[in-house]
Structure 1
Amino acid sequence: MKEIEQKLNGKISRLTNKTFKFDERVGEGWFSAVYFLKTKEIAEKKLPNNHVTMQFFQKGDAVLCGTDEAIALVHTFAEKPEELEMHSLKDGDRIKPFETVLTISGPYQYFGFLEGIIDGVLSRRTSVATNVYNVVKAARFSGKQKPIIFMGDRDDHFTQQAGDGYAAFIGGSTAQATHAMSEWWGKKGMGTMPHAMIQMFRGDVVAASVAYKETFPEDDLVALVDYNNDVITDSLKVARKFGNELSGVRVDTSRTLVDKYFLRNHHLMGTFDPRGVNPELIFALRKALDDEGFQHVDIVVSGGFCEERISHFESLGVPVDMYGVGSSLLKINIGFTGDNVLLNGTPSAKEGRRYRPNSRLEKVVYHGS
């Protein structure tokens, strides 16, 4: 976890309210569960002098993310936020089951209607950060940290990209597919060519690569080589054309296809699943490149990769230099809960829940919205 902590200490502290583009209707209760809105009205009319402490937690080992966003949300939409007292862990902190990560204290009617929204922010951001962290950890199984490209743009609604990209950054991925994904942490997206580009050159990977290099001469050239389902043949064609100018090749073979390399080498079949991007194909590709003197060409793989699949590749020593990962990183598998645990300074929580003080929490300073 030191990598993330150093990154946070060296590059960012707290994101500010200006980072986030909140929908103004949050303040009108449009996104709050109706029973929170009704409780707010009752508290205003019947219990105006109440003072509660709400604490937030989840139930697993995780990499926390979303605290800055949640704090900014409260500071933007709570009533009299300057009168609220908040304590929080930081984005990037490792957390344990049931550990309190955030507390908010003040009159319920000032902030209680934001409870469900805060839960959702913390749940999504922490899920993505934790998923990415686990994939990054799997990709250093063999002793060398291999980069993870966050390619989640096609797996969820585009409005989620900035927050998901930030959560992926907290989890350890600094290579991301869109500019929006990098918006909150200050870089731009990266990428070379999709299958659509090669299609417009009628499947001629060399011609597509030439066009790319001529148009973006300062970029590293990474050629996509699975369009014709013959990755070794097309990789060698591009490598012979560009030599040292070729930085890498990306293999994204569909998991329903068997590469033509195996159709030419029937004797290899029968001992493994030959579909998609498989270890045997990457071993063969690396050997073919090396045999012709292209040891400098990196191999990037993508298409259905997840923590378990990367761990399998790394355990076999498959010569992958970078993984592109998408949908598996966006699974929301961590849920946060907010509970009122103190009422007017005394313990008061539903059965099975209690106030859990946490010495790791830091007091949040209000700087205005």
Structure 2
Amino acid sequence: MDGSKPDPITLWPGLEDLPGWTDKYFRRTRDVVLKFGDARVTYAVFMRRPVLYAGALACGWLRSIGEKRGEAFDVEERYREGDWVGAGEPMIYIRGSFAALVDLETVFLQKLGAACVAAYNAHAMCEELPQVAFLAMDARHCAGTEMSELMAYAASVGSETARRRAGAVGFIGNATDATAHYFGQSEGRGTMPHALIGYAGSTVRAAEMFHETFPDQMLIVLVDYFGQEITDSLEVCKRFPELAAEGRIGVRLDTHGGRYVEGLDTQASYDVLERNAPKAIRGYRTEAELKHLIGTGVSAAAIWHAREQLNAAGFPKVKIIASSGFSPAKCKVMALASAPIDVIGTGSYLPSEWNETYATADVVEYDGAPRVKVGREFLLRGYKPPRSGA
């Protein structure tokens, strides 16, 4: 991970494309300032909710544009990548020519806010389940390649913080080659979509096709296509007993929320957790927590059920890969149930409340004179709130 050296995707838009992607009022302000005289300004950048700082891509883009304009911006990043930042705390001060900076705000904030929130969410998931490896599978949920890069980078930042603070395994890779380097990998990771199962006509045949094509790859098989998660898992293991014994097979549970995993219903799900994680169902649980524990789809009970069946059939080394809606909240519930997950595939560190991702930049100094709109005085350097009753 080297966010200090932005990639070509990160550097888009370049100087020539910038006007078309910038808020008009910023462009018109630039024209006014160029007509009436430039000023040296200081911007303060903040967010309205707690985040993890993930500003390297945004700041890298800003510095690149400054170089192309012949301007050396003073970009003071007040936090290291992955540091916790409180709501309203200035995270960056940017000093330079008003004319050179004012029309950069639109794109700069686009590259900052969502990344900081996604880093926070990725960290929360990794810290809740420090023993579990994560794969970033967000690419197809992103609004284009720029967002995909921002989300991959954010996941790597949050993951690194969880490793440092909690000794977490964290994110070990992602789904696309273009952003694999953020996870220290040379290429993306992944084996098969549901479409390959449909093409093959059976789960076992899809496994055979994949293994014949990629014999050196770990064999990770989707097992929910036919609604026979347990049956198909065991059939794949029986077809490749040597791989199963070597721990080179993984079964991926991706059951949708419209049905239970094979062999489960509400009562059976309670029974599974009673055998393996009774504390998870003994205390008060919200409706959302109960769904993740004993509901349809990939619940904690479903994962324990798969582990029980694999062990009973003599396949204790077969890995369980879980996907389908693994948000920070779901990871927290999996931790409550000590769910035996080896790897989680997720894109759910993407911000679910998009309005929380809005970063804001205000000019707080003009030619050295502190000045900011009323209500934003907290952005001024050395600001002390008035004492109550004064």
Task: Give the TM interval when normalised to the shorter protein.
Answer: 0.7 to 0.9
Spell out the pairing of 1:165-176 with structure 2 (5 A cutoff). 165-172=152-159, 173-176=171-174
Where 2:221 maps in the other structure, the secondary structure is strand
Residue aligning to 2:310: 289
Which position in structure 2 is the counterpart of 1:268? 268
TM-score (norm 2): 0.80
Letter in 2 for 1:345: G
Instruction: Give the alignment partner of residue 208 of structure 2, picking from 207, 210, 215.
Output: 210
Q: Is the 8 A contact 2:10 2:57 kept in 1?
A: no
Query: Which deviates more from structure 2 when the two are superposed, residues 267-276 or residues 95-104?
Result: 267-276
- What residue in structure 1 maps to residue 346 of structure 2? 325
Following the alignment from structure 2 to structure 1, what is the Cα–Cα distance between the partners of residues 311 and 183? Answer: 38
Unaligned runs of 5+ in 1: 1-10, 359-369
Residues 1:93 and 2:83 are matched in the alignment: yes
CA distance in 2, matches of 1:217, 1:17: 33
Q: 1:123 to 1:215 in 2, by over 3 A?
A: same
Decide which of 297, 315, 325 is 1:304's aligned counterpart. 325
List per-residue Cα deviations over 1:112-163 (Å, max 9, x = no partner): 11112212211121122112111112223xxxx2111111122122322222
Counterpart of 2:359 (choices 330, 336, 339) is: 336
Alpha-carbon deviation of 1:349? 0.9
Offset of residue 47 of structure 1: 2.8
Aligned partner letter, 1:262: L
Structure 2 CA distance for partners of 1:186 and 1:301, relative to 1, 3 Å: closer
Q: Look up the match of 2:251.
A: 249
Name the residue aligned to 1:258. 260
Matches within 5 A, 1:177-196: 177-183=175-181, 187=185, 188-196=187-195
Higher relative contact order (CA 8 A, sep 6+): 1
RMSD: 2.5
Q: Aligned residue pairs: how many?
A: 340
Per the alignment, residue 152 of structure 1 pairs with: 138
Secondary structure at the aligned position of 1:329 is classed as coil
Q: Which residue is equivalent to 2:225?
A: 227
- 1:163–1:181 contact (8 Å) kept in structure 2: no
Identity %: 26
> 8 Å contact 1:32–1:113 — kept in the other structure?
yes
SS at match of 1:106: strand
- Alpha carbons 1:161, 1:180 under 8 Å: kept: no
Q: 1:6 maps to which residue?
A: none
Letter in 2 for 1:233: T
- Mapped contact 1:244–1:296 kept (Cα < 8 A): no
User: Which residue does 2:52 correspond to in 1?
Assistant: 63
| Kept after mapping to 2: 8 A contact 1:139/1:310 | yes
Maintained 8 Å contact 1:339/1:349:
yes
Cα contact 2:230–2:306 (8 A) shared by 1 = yes
The answer on whether the counterparts of 2:76 and 2:94 sit within 8 Å (CA) in structure 1 is yes
Q: Which runs of 5+ in 2 are unaligned?
A: 160-170, 272-289, 383-390
SS of match in other structure, 2:305: helix
Q: Is the 8 A contact 1:149 1:322 kept in 2?
A: yes
Per the normalisation by structure 1, the TM-score is: 0.84
Query: Partner of 1:122 in structure 2?
Result: 112
> What is the CA distance between 1:79 and its match in structure 2?
6.7
Partner SS state of residue 260, structure 1: coil
